[in-house]
Amino acid sequence: MRPGSPVIDARFYELIGPVAAAEIAAATGAVVVCGDAGALVAALAPLDQAGAGDLAFCEAVPKSGRIETAATACLVPPGGAAALPDGIVGLEVRAPKSVLAAAVARLVHLRTLAPGQPAVHPDAVLEDAVQVLPGAVIGAGARIGRGTVIGASATIGPGVCIGRDCQIGHGVRIACALIGDRVKIGSNSVIGEAGFGVTGLPENPVDVPQLGRVVIQDDVTLGALVAVDRAAFGETVVGLASKIDNFVHVGHNVRLGRGVVIAAFGGISGSTEVGDFVLMGGRVGIGDHHVIGERAILAAGSAVLSDVPAREIWQGYPAQPAMRWRREQVMLRRLAEPKKKS
């Protein structure tokens, strides 16, 4: 087994390879078009982060006609192998992203609680004055800092690290996560569940494996029934001293800056970046892959479908600068008023 991967955190995932590229081809229905079918791969990684021993994937050949990667092997669409650098094993398949689950099953396993393990696994490390309330379970390799309270029926997965003086509420589930000091997590929140990655739409929706983690920095407060999804690769980050209300969803690969405040029922779609000290009212929704500038304010009920500049106030559906939205509402109201008879 490869000793480690720069992309996949071994505290949360077990690398079970290596396997030959030919075995990956058989599992995914791909065809080995170029390179050594016997070359060994041990982990999955994005194109730009893959190195020797990694399997990468490319959904579509770039307009430049060249796929830039240092992976040992790469899943590519039909005809894509010609765009790979010399020496890389080209595995051509109709929908590379749709077959990732089959490839991952040969390379990576998510570490889970051991059947029949005691409430606190012998390999877990708990500092002084940690309180574990009835019904809580702590997995192998977890580390809990001094003075932290683990609530009743909470589940702390293998390898999870929780800092000092934290308060983990009743029924909380944490997996694939690194949590700082003085963090508060409300009852029944879920940290580190798989992000919502789906491909093969619309005829054949397929779950895309999620192999990243969650990082929650110091002094963060999460309310009850909050969901923070782990990244597909890399990290989902909740920044220093951010405060998140009940019933909020933070999607995979989202990065929240310092001091972000999110009111109830907010939803942030995957790979969105939220700058420092952003304020979000209740029921704000943000589409994927957007950038919200620092100190921006998003008014309650806004649907953000584009980037938001720093320090601006946005409102509406779709959201836009607040003063423009208000003027439009006034104009629409006037248009809707019945005309007076002369």
Positions marked catalytic: 252
CA dist list (Å): 39 to 4, 32, 72, 161: 18, 11, 7, 35
How many of the other CB atoms lie within 10 Å of CB of 122?
Answer: 7
User: What angle (nearest 5°) sits at the alpha carbon of residue 140, between those of residues 136 and 143?
Assistant: 75
Smallest CA-to-CA distance from 112 within 139, 88, 151 is with 139
**Residues 206, 100: Cα–Cα separation, whole Å:** 10
| β pairing state of 89-92 and 73-76 | parallel
Smallest CA-to-CA distance from 215 within 255, 246, 187, 182 is with 255
Smallest CA-to-CA distance from 41 within 70, 77, 76, 11 is with 70
Distance of CA 226 to the CA centre of its chain: 14
**Residues 272, 254: Cα–Cα separation, whole Å:** 5
Supply 174's token pair. 């944490």
Distance of CA 313 to the CA centre of its chain: 27
What's the start-to-end Cα distance of the chain, in Å? 87
Backbone CA torsion sign across 115, 118, 122, 123 = positive
**Residues 264, 218: Cα–Cα separation, whole Å:** 21
Torsion angle, CA of 318/324/329/332, rounded to 10 degrees?
A: -100
SS3 83: helix
| β pairing state of 149-150 and 131-132 | parallel
Quickly list DSSP for 199-237.
ESTTTS-EEPP---EEEE-TT-EE-TT-EEEPPSSSEEE
